[in-house]
Structures are given as structure tokens and as C-alpha cells.
Amino acid sequence: MATKELLLNLGKLIIGIAWLDGELQTQELNILKEVLFQLPDLTGDDWTQLELYMVHPVSDQERETLFARVLESIRSPADKAFVLETLRKVIAADGTVSAEEAAALAAMEQDLDRHSSRGLFSHLIIPLRRILSQGQRRHRESREDRLEDFIKNTIYFRLVTELRARGTTIELPDDQIKKLCLAAGLMAHVAWIDREFCDREHEAMVTALRTNWGLPPSHAHLLVELSRASILRGLDLVRLTKGFQTYSTPDERKAFLRTLFAIANASHKTSFEEIEAIRAIAKAFDLSHQDFIEAKLTISRTDRHGL
């Protein structure tokens, strides 16, 4: 029977391969479930490690590393056969095989054959075409190294991952970037109270990030897109509020309540549900009822429907 190490590494590789066409398909994730079904002791921490690879596309370099981990986990011909069968199923899962997917599968099949021909200690040998990049990979931070960021500030994790993929950075202190990501998550939470986003809400969030924190337009739009995508997947409001509180002063939190009301009022005025959502955030910020009222009064009574 395959070891837990092999199954988890293979699970991550399945996700990495599924990202080849730019999105995760239900059929591909069903194959992941089939693999994980063989792990009766799958823990919450194990699942979180898999989620690290679900929230953002996997790069070619990451996919290469994930495959190398699978190779190192293979201990028997049965393991190799299981891995090969699984890889073929993932590639064909959505009914079409692109040229890129076919090339990736051929390369992995070739490496699996090389691996099996080396015998008992083959898991200690790195495929030749990876030797040149071995030194760089040794110092390259993996997603697992950033697990704490993923848990505490998912949007920050996604933003950093995307910026690295683009080969760019935001010229701000790291703590400031973390605060911006938490703020974007809270704005997205308020915008999503009515279960829809509109262009006016998007632009209001971009304006807030640019005006209040000096974020360049391109980065502001990217952060809004990531926060919207993250809120659709589900974000922990407690982590968002407590995280923002950690990086902000009381005056900043008071000012941010006004920003949240501006987001709420960007589309179809401000609803009772949005007001109550902001009230809950103010309470989590340890702000007074008066602080909340002052922020609410920045929106006209008409736009608040008299509330």
C-alpha cells in the first residue's frame, strides 16, 4: 500500500497538473478525492497543505518540484504503477488533452521509467535535467514554508504568490502590505453581503486602496480581484478583523469604518445587512458604539433608507 507521504505528495502534484489549463476542474478534483480516500487518517493540517496549491495557479518550477517529491516517495513497482495510472487519469480527466498536457505527461512518464531502472536507491537520485536548477531550488521558498501566512492572511499569501510569478514587488513595508490585504478582505466581505459584486464596488475598493494607502493602480486592481476571489471561497472574518487590528491604530480603524460604509454605499445605497456587517466589524475592532455611529453618519439618511 502507498505510504501517506506518497499519497500527499501525489495529491499536490494532481493539483499542480490540474492547473496546466489555468483552472481546476471538478473531474480533476474528483481524482484527488480518490487518492485521498486511501488516507483514513487525513488530518486538517494535511488538507491545509493541499489547499496551499488550490488557491493559486502552480508554476512550472513548482510543478517540477512537486513531481520530484513524488519520485522520491516511490518505494516499489506498485507505487510507480499507481502514480503513472493516476497521472494519466488526471491529464485525461476533462475529456481533452492539450499539447502542453501531453508534453508534461510524456516528460513525467520518461522520468518515471528512468527512476524505476535505477533500482532500490533511485529515490536518492535527481533526474538529470533538474540538476542544473538544484542549487536555486534549494534556496527557493516553497508554499509550505509560507503556511502561517496562508492560514492567517490568505489574501496576502495569494498576492505574494502572484507578484512572484509576475517577477514584481510592491514597494511598501511587509507589515503595510499585510494590512492592505486584510483591509481588502474586509471590504470584500462588506461588498459581498448581498451575494454579488458590481463594477462600482470594485472601483470603490480600488479608490480606497489608492487614496488611503497609496497603492499603485495596477496593484490595487490586482488586490481587489484577489480579495473578491478569496471571499467567494470563504474567509475567516475573525482572522480578518483581529489581523487588521494587529497592524492598525485605533484612529486608523475608526477611519476604516468610514471606508467600509463608502464601499457599502457604492451600489444600491446602504442596506440594513451591510450596516449590521460593519457594526460587527466595529465591535471586533473594540471600537465604541459612538465610533460606529459617527462612521455611519458619513452616509446620508436617504442612502441609509432612514436607518
Query: Which residues fall within 8 angstroms of residue 294, CB to CB, at 6 or more apart?
Result: 254
What is the pLDDT, as a whole number, of residue 215?
Answer: 94
What is the pLDDT, as a whole number, of residue 122?
Answer: 45
What is the pLDDT, as a whole number, of residue 248?
Answer: 97
What is the pLDDT, as a whole number, of residue 140?
Answer: 63
What is the pLDDT, as a whole number, of residue 238?
Answer: 96
Sequence spans of domains, the chain:
4-145, 153-296
What is the pLDDT, as a whole number, of residue 1?
Answer: 78
Q: pLDDT tens, position by position, for the chain (307 residues)?
A: 789 999 999 999 999 999 999 999 999 999 999 999 998 889 999 999 999 999 999 999 999 999 999 999 999 999 999 999 999 999 999 888 999 999 999 999 999 988 765 544 444 444 434 443 444 444 467 999 999 999 999 999 999 999 998 999 999 999 999 999 999 999 999 999 989 899 999 999 999 999 999 999 999 999 999 999 999 989 999 999 999 999 999 999 999 999 999 999 998 789 999 999 999 999 999 999 999 999 999 999 999 877 7
CA atoms within a 13 Å half-sphere pointing along the CA-CB vector of 157: 23
Q: How high does pLDDT run on average in the chain? A: 90
What is the pLDDT, as a whole number, of residue 128?
Answer: 39
pLDDT digits (tens, 9 = 90+) for 84-143: 999 999 999 988 899 999 999 999 999 998 876 554 444 444 443 444 344 444 446 799
**Cα–Cα nearest to 183, from 165, 210, 163, 164:** 210
At CB < 8 A and 24+ separation, what contacts does 152-156 make? 152/239, 152/243, 153/178, 153/181, 153/182, 153/239, 153/243, 154/55, 154/185, 154/230, 154/235, 155/181, 155/182, 155/184, 155/185, 155/223, 155/226, 155/227, 155/230, 155/235, 156/181, 156/182
What is the pLDDT, as a whole number, of residue 305?
Answer: 79
pTM above 0.85, yes or no: no
Question: Class of the 153-296 domain?
Answer: mainly alpha
What is the pLDDT, as a whole number, of residue 127?
Answer: 46
What is the pLDDT, as a whole number, of residue 121?
Answer: 42
What is the pLDDT, as a whole number, of residue 169?
Answer: 93
What is the pLDDT, as a whole number, of residue 117?
Answer: 59
Cα first-last separation, the chain: 63
Distances (CA, A) of 70 to 3, 13, 92, 100, 126: 11, 8, 20, 20, 11
Which string of DSSP letters, residue by residue, matches the chain? ---HHHHHHHHHHHHHHHGGGTS--HHHHHHHHHHHTT-TT--HHHHHHHHTTTSSPPPHHHHHHHHHHHHHH--SHHHHHHHHHHHHHHHTTTS---HHHHHHHHHHHHHHHHHHTTGGGGGG---HHHHTTHHHHHTSPPGGGGHHHHHH-HHHHHHHHHHHHHT---SS-HHHHHHHHHHHHHHHHHHTTTS---HHHHHHHHHHHHHHH---HHHHHHHHHHHHHHHHH---HHHHHHHHHHHS-HHHHHHHHHHHHHHHTTTTS--HHHHHHHHHHHHHTT--HHHHHHHHTTS-TTTTTT-
Dist. CA 164–CA 99, nearest whole Å = 26
What is the pLDDT, as a whole number, of residue 118?
Answer: 54
